[in-house]
Amino acid sequence: MPPPPIKRQLTRDDYHVAWLCALPDVELPAARCMLDDEHEPPPNHPSDINEYVYGSIDSHNIVIASMPPRKIGPVSAADLVGPLKFSFPYLKIHLFVGIGRGIPRAPTPPAAEKDVYFGDVVVGWPKTEDDPAVVNWDFGAVEQHGPNVTNLRQVGQMKEPDAPILAALGRLLGNHREGLTRFDEHLRRLDRIAQFGHPGRSSDRLFQPDCACQTPNATILCSCDQTKLVKRKRRPDRGMGFIFHQGTILSGNSFMMNAAVRDKLRVCYPNALCLEMEAAGALPQSRALVVRGICDYADSHVNRKWQNYAAGTAAGASFHESPAGPA
């Protein structure tokens, strides 16, 4: 058996793109799949306790930083981002990539390509000049029968990512309209890895907001009343390929499991398509592009079946959406 290839080792000054992950068991493997090569790690800065993966995509050197296991939320995200500025002084681009929770367009569902489904990718990129890219909101613990929705409080926002990212997003949008992106190629690449295979559209189920899950178990599909499913256009398993959406991402300090609160947020922020928990902690220190693959609908019917696939689609989309991706 031939010896493994020798990895290059660069200095920390050679890395210009930071790729941030919240979940080391789901999002980090997806990010590593996008690398053309992995590098031998350079020594950490003496004050930096983060763990990093180093590599390259095309000619761009990328450092991947992941939050510690079971350390989620905005505080841990801030701790992850804090050391980057002195460990990697020449960073130009920050990407925060991972899974998120969809805000579907019901009760008046649009065409299937405009609604949010499992596996879709939402990019924190405002659709109008008045919309923020990311909104930081505070609600406390929110379960299906949780607190009154009037307690919602906005505590911050980010208008738009940095200029180099916006330029890359503009190119991406034009290429996507012309069919010039490599999204399908990345879907096939992920499909070859069992962990990231498509779970099948039959498990993509949106229940009516007043239907609380009676058999909550994050590892299996619930057995709730199928007559309580929202009637909306079905998305083919693969025929529509990679679907990404431009809109606002809502970043909170709690895990959302309440469809009524989710829908209240949709009324407050009509162009919001996704909920997550970490971006608000990272953005004060970096104007990162936030990219989220949708794995559930922020209600009590949560399961982990779509997490790996959603992490993979977010990673594949981020490769194109950043200046590190192909022109």
Q: Does domain 97-321 have CATH number 3.40.50?
A: yes
Per residue in 261-313, pLDDT (tens digit) is 889 888 888 889 999 988 888 887 777 899 999 999 999 898 888 999 999 99
Residue with tokens 């899950």, as numbered in its chain: 213
| Beta-strand relationship, 134-138 and 244-251 | parallel
Q: What is the rounded average pLDDT for all residues in the chain?
A: 83
Domain ranges of the chain: 97-321
Per residue in 32-77, pLDDT (tens digit) is 988 989 999 999 999 999 999 999 988 899 999 999 888 877 888 8
Which H or E run includes 137?
A: strand 134-138
Give the list of residues 6+ apart from residue 63 with CB closer than 8 angstroms, or none. Answer: 12, 15, 17, 18, 19, 52, 53, 54, 88, 91
Q: What are the Cα distances from residue 52, in Å, to 84, 87, 98? A: 11, 11, 16
Is 129 in a helix, a strand, or coil?
Answer: coil
Per residue in 198-234, pLDDT (tens digit) is 888 888 999 998 888 887 666 678 888 888 999 888 7
Query: CA-based diameter of the chain, in Å?
Result: 64
Taking residues 99-114, report their average pLDDT. 80
Per residue in 2-11, pLDDT (tens digit) is 666 778 899 9
Taking residues 130-154, report their average pLDDT. 64
User: What pTM does this model have?
Assistant: 0.89
